[in-house]
């Protein structure tokens, strides 16, 4: 099965939530009027596209309908598809890993799929010919270290780990030293998803970044925030919190295949302007794929 087919299948619930309801609306409406836009607005908001983003999309649609003299309600769907593609296309969706070593710091709350995303990224980068080292920086949860080691073995990459409860920054420090000494191309750093308070968690993350900056002052660093698509609008608030604390460079959106809330991807990109770099639509090691806005919109509206 091609990834587009996986994506199309993965977006089935979201497509039912958004596209099928839009199709029914446009078929039932004889003309383009304020009632049509109000109904469309309700569909988008209830599909987790978000109020602010929805209002912007509706305003842009009204302008385009007027300027392009569109009269057939069925043409509105294609205009909407173009608007969503435009929102998702802005920004750099590629990874910048040109230094040796480069660093990927993976952040996010517990349960969103951080560990599996790291494992899948390891596999992807190894397939690209890169020598990858994983740093098990989530030392506050014993299971996190064990799970990450399983994924590292599955992907065929090396791992640096300390005992549960160790200082995460010490793990990152050791991994960086190993990477410099042994010629690794990429260091992927796992981080804690939960400490006693949000403030403690963010302070711990800042400490990790200080270590990286001190030991690799000229390295390319990607900070990828993993978000669970099934959490809907809660993912937006998570993205905002982490972006303020760590300067997130990109998003990994997981569990798209298990939710009707895939519209959240549009909301996050529009409101926070953080590019989506990867999406997950399955549990297999190759089910994490680089994000492509045109393919996503095509799969959503097909």
Annotated binding-site residue? 192: yes
Q: What is the dihedral of CA 148, 241, 97, 179, to 10 degrees?
A: -50
According to the annotation, is 220 in a ligand binding site? no
Decide: helix, strand or coil at residue 146: helix
Nearest one of 214, 190, 250, 218 to 99, comparing CA atoms:
218
174 is in an annotated binding site: no
156 marked ligand binding residue: no
Q: Are 48 and 229 in contact (CB under 8 A)?
A: no
Place of tokens 């990152």: 172
Contact in structure between 207 and 169 (CB atoms under 8 Å):
yes
Q: In the beta sheet, which residues pair with residue 225?
A: 107, 251
Tokens found for residue 282: 């399955």
19 annotated as ligand-binding: no
Question: Is 293 labelled a binding residue?
Answer: no
In whole angstroms, give the CA distance from residue 235 to residue 168. Answer: 25
Closest listed residue to residue 290, CA positions, set 250, 259, 261: 250
190 is in an annotated binding site: yes
Residue found under tokens 């952040």: 107
Helix axes 264-272, 233-246, angle to 10 degrees: 30
Q: Is 14 annotated as a binding residue?
A: no
Closest CA to 259 of 7, 11, 8, 9: 11
Find the helix packing angle between 34-46 and 19-28, rounded to 10°.
170
108 assigned to a ligand binding site: yes
**DSSP category for residue 131:** -
Q: Is 114 annotated as a binding residue?
A: yes
- Does residue 113 have a known ligand-binding role? yes
Q: State the binding site.
A: 108-115, 190-194, 254-257
Q: State the binding site for GTP.
A: 108-115, 190-194, 254-257
């Amino acid at each position: 099965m091609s990834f587009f087919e996986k994506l199309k299948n993965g977006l089935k619930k979201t497509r039912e939530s958004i596209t099928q309801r839009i199709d029914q609306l446009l078929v039932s409406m004889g003309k383009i009027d304020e009632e049509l836009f109000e109904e469309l607005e309700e569909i988008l908001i209830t599909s987790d596209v978000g109020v602010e983003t929805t209002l912007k999309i509706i305003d842009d649609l009204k302008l385009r309908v007027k300027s392009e003299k569109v009269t057939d309600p069925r043409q509105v769907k294609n205009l909407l598809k173009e608007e969503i593609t435009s929102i998702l296309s802005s920004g750099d969706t590629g990874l910048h890993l040109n230094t040796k070593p480069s660093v990927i710091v993976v952040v996010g709350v517990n349960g969103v799929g951080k560990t599996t995303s790291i494992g899948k990224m390891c596999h992807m980068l190894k397939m690209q010919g890169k020598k990858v080292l994983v740093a098990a920086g989530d030392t506050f949860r014993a299971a996190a270290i064990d799970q990450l080691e399983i994924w590292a073995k599955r992907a065929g990459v090396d791992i640096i780990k300390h005992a549960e409860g160790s200082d995460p920054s010490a793990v990152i420090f050791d991994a960086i030293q190993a990477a410099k000494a042994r010629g690794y191309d990429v260091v992927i750093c796992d981080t804690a998803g939960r400490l006693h308070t949000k403030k403690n968690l963010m302070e711990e993350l800042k400490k990790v970044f200080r270590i990286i900056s001190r030991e690799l002052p000229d390295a390319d660093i990607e900070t990828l925030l993993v978000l669970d698509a099934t959490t809907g609008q809660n993912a937006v608030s998570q993205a905002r919190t982490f972006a303020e604390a760590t300067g997130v460079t990109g998003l990994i959106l997981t569990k798209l295949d298990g939710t009707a809330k895939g519209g959240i991807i549009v909301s996050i990109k529009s409101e926070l302007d953080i590019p989506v770099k990867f999406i997950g639509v399955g549990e297999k090691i190759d089910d994490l794929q680089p994000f492509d806005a045109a393919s996503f919109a095509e799969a959503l509206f097909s």
